[in-house]
Amino acid sequence: MSEKTSLRNNKKTKFILRIIGFITLILGLVLMIAGFIDFFNSMSLGSQPSLFWLFFISAPLLFAGAVCLSFSYMKAVNSYVVSEQAPIMKNAANYMLEGTRDEVSETAGAIAKNIHQEGGVICPRCHTQNEPGAAFCDNCGAPLTKRCSCGEINDIDAKYCRRCGKLL
């Protein structure tokens, strides 16, 4: 359904639903009140209620009127609800995030550190896994790091220095 034909933008349909809704709601209330009056009058007189069937007509009318009115006022009601709830949800989300930002950062850092430490450095020449932080291969003696002219020690497979960005 396109945006132009939706119920939200169709003022004529909303107006018709409001008219139908109010008419059926009022008619349902009148029939319900008449049924109650007949019921309580017959109880006080000790006779059978003669208009009890009005309850069976008034209940669907009340329901239909309420549904029509709820559809016709749905945008207004939802806009109000969202405008009331959005600041509360934003504050709750910020409160929860405030308490977890540092912990998430620490956890991610610890995971990255553990992955780097557990795996160690693999030699590009003989493919032997060496201890983390090793500068030379335990098996063949090949260098496992590259030193830039700025003094920064980089991974052996780095093409550029992580400190100054020069080509290694």
pLDDT digits (tens, 9 = 90+) for 113-131: 665 555 678 888 898 888 8
Taking the model in full, what pTM does it have?
0.45
pLDDT tens-digit readout, 35-56: 999 998 888 888 888 888 998 9
**Domain regions of the chain by residue span:** 11-72, 86-119, 120-168
pLDDT, position 134:
85
pLDDT at residue 114, as a whole number: 60
Classify residue 20 by burial, with Cβ atoms within 10 Å: 0-12, 13-18, 19+.
middle
Q: Which amino acid is at 142?
A: A
Amino acid in position 92: A
End-to-end CA distance of the chain: 59
